[in-house]
Amino acid sequence: MSLTWSAKDHKNANQSAATGQKRSRNDAGNKVTVVLGAQWGDEGKGKVVDLLATEADFVCRCQGGNNAGHTVVVDGKEYDFHLLPSGIINPKSVSLIGKGLKGWEKRLIVSDRAHLVFDFHQVVDGLQETERQAQEGKNIGTTKKGIGPAYSSKASRTGLRVCDLLGDFKDFSARFKNLVRQYQSMYPSLTVDVEDQLKKLKEYSERLRPMVRDGVYYMYEALHGPPKKILVEGANAALLDIDFGTYPFVTSSNCTVGGACTGLGIPPLNIGDVFGVAKAYTTRVGIGAFPTEQLNAVGELLQTRGHEVGVTTGRKRRCGWLDLVIVRYAHMINGFTAIALTKLDILDVLDEIKVGVAYKLNGKRIPHFPANMDVLQKVEVEYETFPGWKTDTSAARKWNDLPAKAQNYIRFIENHIGVPIKWVGVGKSRECMIQMF
Ligand code: GDP
Ligand code: IMO
Ligand code: MG
């Protein structure tokens, strides 16, 4: 459950005092730009954040945890981020040593209200999956990073936060032991070396202490101080959202736009651009309905050409055609101001390309995205078919470099969602991104 920031210069934000003055709605302060996944994750959010972060003062994570896996390629080097904001690579202020990042501790802020994910939460994640499999014949296919159990602890008000870890350690230890006992009563096979865990946690607390701030006040200062560019990097994605995703095959946090407000403690008025990231096709890791999935040669081609393997778990991602019903649904919730369409280059070799444009139930189009997973399993997808461009697009750097058939494909998507496409991705690296406006 992360609430972390990487800041180029967090000193300024701390130095200017909160004025306490009344502000009008027109004087709401700086706006944050939010980058969110519009499908089932792995759309390329990390790459979009990295691109925007070159100009940002702050990059924030507001939900989820190390269940996220964001790959960013800079100067031919590949970085995999799980918990740290992808914006922590910043060529102007960071020296790179191999794959390590130097000096990141000085540029990382952690909110004191962030919940802690313990080792036993991860073990419990695994035990719950085994139990689901035994009881229901299927599980969720979680990342086993303990995210679900940690959010459960938060909701049942027994969770422990960074502020507790840095407070009275005796009190923290007592609450930790209590939490362990609670889980052990639910899962008798769970063994926890409490003393060893507490020893480690004590050590971590000292490493963490210099990075910890009051998150709400820190954001307030950032929003109301001198002009700042603030970026929020969403983890996971709309269809994995605990409230709006394909429940119960979802993660445990709000990965839609509301998560930026509740996770960072910022007012809705301070939300500026909301960029949705969508792949030019669809992928999904783990179990659950996937109406446009292609369990055939097309799916295999997308999987291999797109290197669709989970960064966090190493699992092959399931692949299928672009589903505009889900992207439109994500837009209904998030109100995207623009879209980044990634991985167009993966479609370069296809003879024809399909796009899901509507769902039908019993032969009739339905206008909404079904809440019930049995219904979603049954929908029939209506497709629009486009001729493939059969041209390598990976060297394209501007709109005019793209073949006309690829341009048609992009324009169709834009019109169908009703949101402008601002970027088109044609490769892994930072420069492989066509900016449209
Ligand atoms: P995230 O979780 O949304 O940040 O996405 P991931 O990093 O898990 O997965 C996206 C993968 O696609 C990464 O390996 C990226 O390097 C890669 N990628 C992103 N954009 C493009 C693109 O436009 N073309 C190609 N070929 N790869 C891309
Ligand atoms: P990024 O940020 C893809 C999926 C898992 C599983 C379900 C629940 O890289 O896009 P969890 O461990 O969160 O309880 O797992 O959600 N999932 C993701 N799939 N990308 C992600 O993150 C994901 N985060 C969670 O595969 O199906
Ligand atoms: Mg990912």
pLDDT of residue 32: 96
pLDDT-derived band of residue 6, with 50, 70 and 90 as boundaries? low
Instruction: Please write the tens of the pLDDT for every residue from 255-308.
Output: 999 999 999 999 999 999 999 999 999 999 989 999 999 999 999 999 999 999
Query: pLDDT averaged over the chain?
Result: 91
pLDDT of residue 102: 67
For residue 71, pLDDT over 50 is answered with: yes
Residue 222: CB within 6 Å of ligand 2? Answer: no
Instruction: Please write the tens of the pLDDT for every residue from 16-53.
Output: 444 445 555 557 899 999 999 999 999 999 999 999 99
Exposure string (b/e) for 215-245, b if CB count within 10 Å is 16 or more? beebbbbbbbbeebbbbbbbbbbbbbbbebb
Of all residues in the chain, the percent with pLDDT exceeding 70 is: 91
Q: Do 319 and 283 contact (CB within 8 A), yes or no?
A: yes
C-alpha to C-alpha distance for 173 and 21, rounded to whole angstroms:
41
pLDDT-derived band of residue 8, with 50, 70 and 90 as boundaries? low
Count each helix (H run) and each strand (E run) in the chain, helices first.
13, 20
pLDDT of residue 14: 39
pLDDT of residue 52: 93
User: What's the pTM?
Assistant: 0.94
CB atoms inside a 10 Å sphere around CB 271 = 20
Instruction: Please write the tens of the pLDDT for every residue from 124-144.
Output: 999 999 999 999 999 999 999
Name the residue among 29, 32, 34, 56 with its Cα closest to residue 45: 34
The ligand 1 atom at the shortest distance from the C-alpha of residue 277 is: 3
Query: Which mutation among 342, 348, 397, 421 tests ligand 1's pocket best, with the greatest number of atoms within 8 A of CB?
Result: 342
pLDDT of residue 87: 77
Closest residue by Cα to atom 27, ligand 1, is: 428
Q: Residue written as tokens 């889980």?
A: 183
Instruction: Please write the tens of the pLDDT for every residue from 373-422.
Output: 999 999 999 999 999 999 999 999 999 999 999 999 999 999 999 999 99
Single-letter amino acid code for the residue at 360: K
Q: Do 221 and 13 contact (CB within 8 A), yes or no?
A: yes
Beta-strand runs (E) in 210-333: 212-213, 230-233, 271-279, 282-284, 318-320, 322-323
Residues in Cβ contact with 368 at an 8 Å cutoff, skipping those fewer than 6 apart:
none
Instruction: Tell me the Ramachandran region of residue 95: left when phi exceeds 0, alpha when psi lies from -120 to 50, beta otherwise.
Output: beta
423 CA distance to ligand 2 middle (Å) = 24
Single-letter amino acid code for the residue at 296: N
Name the residue among 58, 85, 62, 63 with its Cα closest to residue 72: 85
160 CA distance to ligand 3 middle (Å) = 27
Q: Do 114 and 2 contact (CB within 8 A), yes or no?
A: yes
Q: Do 89 and 49 contact (CB within 8 A), yes or no?
A: no
For residue 252, pLDDT over 80 is answered with: yes
The ligand 2 atom at the shortest distance from the C-alpha of residue 145 is: 12
Q: Mean of the pLDDT values across residues 84-104?
A: 57
Instruction: Please write the tens of the pLDDT for every residue from 186-234.
Output: 999 999 999 999 999 999 999 999 999 999 999 999 999 899 999 999 9
Of all residues in the chain, the percent with pLDDT exceeding 90 is: 81
pLDDT of residue 303: 98
Residues in Cβ contact with 331 at an 8 Å cutoff, skipping those fewer than 6 apart:
38, 276, 417, 418, 419
Question: What values do phi and psi take at 180, rounded to 5?
Answer: -60, -45
Residue 263: CB within 6 Å of ligand 2? Answer: no
Beta-strand runs (E) in 307-425: 318-320, 322-323, 338-342, 352-361, 364-366, 380-387, 421-425
For residue 67, pLDDT over 70 is answered with: yes
- Quick one: CA torsion of 8, 12, 18, 24, rounded to 10 degrees? -70
Q: Mean of the pLDDT values across residues 307-335?
A: 96
